[in-house]
Structure 1
């Protein structure tokens, strides 16, 4: 079994336990080799309430890597700002099957410092 398949299986197990509601939406995180994505999702209605992606123009200016810990800090801070702008203070964290370490931990800590509670 490849590492990708193992991560997907972990994510399936995690999604059975973690679900977002309108009162407490899910903060879903995904990263590839080049980009980081964070979304605040209401699973009941199936709507994305706020999102940040390193393919946005604000990240394109920076010529450095778009999938490192420093960028994850920026994404976490920005998703917290966008969530709070839409009156979302409490979320459920969905790490997407990734280990809570490195980029995932940096993004989560920055989102907490930005004002999100989870």
Structure 2
């Protein structure tokens, strides 16, 4: 019997394998969502390196955010990770939503990253 955790891992693996097939070697913008914070990072899977990262835990966002769990905070994380990725020379990424639906805070991170100048 598949546990809830194992089903979640299977969904994430399906998403990542589709990115590997269709991503054409692009870098990956990976999202992790907890109940209190949201994290985003740009990963180079070939070299195994994280090129840029941002989250609601960052010191640079602490004064700006009234809450770390809403969509406005997620959008700010998207803008910040886009800014840091562009500073590292990254323009195009593949969006890795993992096991999450493209809805709510995950969608807000994607829209913030697009506003920040990343294309995917």
Please, what TM-score do these two structures have when normalized by structure 2?
A: 0.86
Map 1:1-118 to 2 at 5 A: 1-2=3-4, 4-19=5-20, 24-61=26-63, 64-118=66-120
2: CA distance between counterparts of 1:63 and 1:82? 19
SS at match of 1:29: strand
Contact 1:31 1:67 in 2 (8 A): no
Contact 2:65 2:73 in 1 (8 A): no
Runs of 4+ in 1 over 4 A off after TM superposition: none
2: CA distance between counterparts of 1:36 and 1:25? 19
Unaligned runs of 5+ in 1: none
CA RMSD between the two structures: 1.9
CA drift at 1:60: 3.2
Which is further off, 40-49 or 8-17? 8-17
Which is further off, 96-105 or 56-65? 56-65
Please, what TM-score do these two structures have when normalized by structure 1?
A: 0.88
Unaligned runs of 5+ in 2: none
